[in-house]
Structure 1
């Protein structure tokens, strides 16, 4: 309900009510929001007040306006915490979501110079090349290209890379994953990303390159991932 005697502005009260309904699941992604007129008549407030509340939520990306159709609940982005080294599978399970992978390519190839340099191995040494689509609740989230030293991480199979590579490394091989360095950049999706992530042309993607090491400092993995910018965001806690 709207409290017209509250010191909190009416538009802010409405904004919070809509936001809470989105966050508690009463409104779901893709649902149409009632019109400004409907809100104004139901709450006995001005349409200008309603418009301000809705505009604020559009700016915060809780809502999306589609010309000629109305205002809809936006897809909420998955947030990945960058303070710890976890796998995609571990992240999704921690959120109560169902992770899955669609394996596009899995083979052993000779390491190209750039890959060999980043994995700290000799040129033409055998590496696993793994290309897969990362999904959450059946929705494509990222296109991932992974290169793993085959002399170090042995025995990989299709089944392993379609589940959790990190779990296999730690539980089956008895190795301890230590740390990783990552870089991020924003770019436009290429043809491959458009196809596999099911996004429109010129869509933005978040490109990530990660080099991962065991606890003894040995590099074992190079990952190049393209995340859907409309579905994913990253969070980092900083201390002074």
Structure 2
């Protein structure tokens, strides 16, 4: 129950209690939360206070609403540490999840000005454009678009992309991937990608742009990925120096 004599706001106390039931797995992903009326009567607090607690938990990703149906417990977010350079496949396997990929687009064409500048390519040099839907345990997590020089990664085919691209680059082509530069920002995706990711119009995603280099400094890849913000989070450890 909530303590009305506590200096902590009532909505915050309720929020913490609901969060605890989720974190201790008393409430499981997909479980329905009691209605605002039921929670209001159970805790003897106003429905406005209940609504504020629930809204905060929805905004933090613990809960999600379905219009006309109610409020439900969200699945746990996948977490990726930003300090290591791994492929999506490697990242999912490290979490004991089953990685999956659906090829949405595969094309070879001359690189445009921006791509040429990023990958240090000559005029009219050919690149691969690869767009894939990334899955974890068969759930859509991200839409990923990659650009790679054909001259650097020859022989790439849709069949090869059914497994790990990085494995092909390192094991078959014997190239050594060295480092990457990555940025993260909030964005809104178009209607097509909303459908791929199973998100509603206007829901923001985490837009990740990564430039990957070989050990000798040669640009290897430009990747732009739109991750579901309700299912994915990124972690970085920072030291004070």
Q: Report the TM range for the smaller structure's normalisation.
A: 0.7 to 0.9
Counterparts of 1:2-151 in structure 2, within 5 Å, are 18-23=18-23, 25-35=25-35, 46-47=44-45, 51=50, 57-58=57-58, 60-64=60-64, 69-151=69-151
Tell me the SS of whatever aligns to 2:159: helix
Q: Which residue of 2 aligns with 1:196?
A: 196
Q: Which residue of 2 aligns with 1:170?
A: 170
Q: Which residue of 1 aligns with 2:224?
A: 224
Distance 2:183 2:53 in 1: 37
Preserved contact between residue 61 and residue 230 of structure 2 (Cα < 8 Å)? no
Preserved contact between residue 145 and residue 223 of structure 2 (Cα < 8 Å)? yes
Gaps of 5+ in 2: none
Q: Which residue of 2 aligns with 1:235?
A: 235
Superimposed CA distance per residue, residues 155-186 of structure 1 (whole angstroms, 9 cap, x where no aligned partner): 21212212111111112222211111112221
Distance 2:191 2:184 in 1: 20
Alpha-carbon spacing, 1:170–1:24, altered in 2? closer, same or farther (3 Å): farther
Distance 2:212 2:200 in 1: 31
Distance 1:121 1:55 in 2: 49
Preserved contact between residue 36 and residue 47 of structure 1 (Cα < 8 Å)? no
Distance 1:60 1:121 in 2: 42
Gaps of 5+ in 1: none
Superimposed CA distance per residue, residues 79-116 of structure 1 (whole angstroms, 9 cap, x where no aligned partner): 22111111111111111111111001223211112111
1:77 Cα deviation from its structure 2 partner: 2.3
TM-score by length of structure 1 reads 0.81
State the aligned residue count.
235
Preserved contact between residue 93 and residue 99 of structure 1 (Cα < 8 Å)? yes
1:194 Cα deviation from its structure 2 partner: 1.7
* CA-atom RMSD in angstroms: 3.1
Distance 1:94 1:71 in 2: 31
TM-score by length of structure 2 reads 0.81
